[in-house]
Homo-oligomer: A and B are copies of this chain.
Amino acid sequence: MKIHQALALTTVMLASALAFAQAKPEQQIEYRKSAMTVTARSMGPLSAMAKGDMPFNKEVATRHADVIATLSDLPLLAGAYGPGTDKGASHKSDPKVWSEPEKFKAAYDKFTSAAKALPAAAGDLKTLQLALGDLGKTCKGCHDDYRMK
């Protein structure tokens, strides 16, 4: 990454953090749960198409892939897992989210990368299946370590 790219990224992250600085813990918790709910609902039809349980339709697949990609880089940038948001409302995030934030961020970044690759792959069933497989591993990676049972 070049210096001007790094600076631009830092500006975006700071501005996002500022924008959400006022969000109370319960609001941050509600937000991250909502983003996951919407993401999961778009995973449903994509998985069904990939498995052959539902006819493949590239418009529908691309629409759901766009949702997943768009939401994938929000929760962290938006401060949805900010300090103190391990409490305030019921949730399933593991305490390790806050005790090992760099490892959590690295796992989340893998999900974001895989999610952002999804829309370009969603126009064809074979490429969708491959991209969903990659994405699924990153979902599982985070859920195994950072979501409580």
Contact = CB atoms under 8 A, between A and B. Distances in A.
Interface residues of A, number: 34
Given A34-B33, A34-B38, A37-B31, A54 B8 contact: no
Contact of A60 (B19, B54, B63): B19
Contacts of A106: none
Copies of this chain present: 2
B60 A15 contact: yes
Interface string A32-73: 011101100100110010000011010110010011001100
A89 interface: no
B20 A60 contact: no
Interface of A: 8, 11-12, 15-16, 18-20, 23, 27, 30-31, 33-35, 37-38, 41, 44-45, 48, 54-55, 57, 59-60, 63, 66-67, 70-71, 74, 77-78
Given A31-B41, A34-B35, 19 more contacts: A8-B59, A12-B57, A12-B59, A12-B60, A15-B54, A16-B60, A19-B45, A19-B54, A19-B60, A20-B41, A27-B41, A31-B37, A34-B37, A34-B38, A38-B71, A67-B70, A67-B71, A67-B74, A70-B70
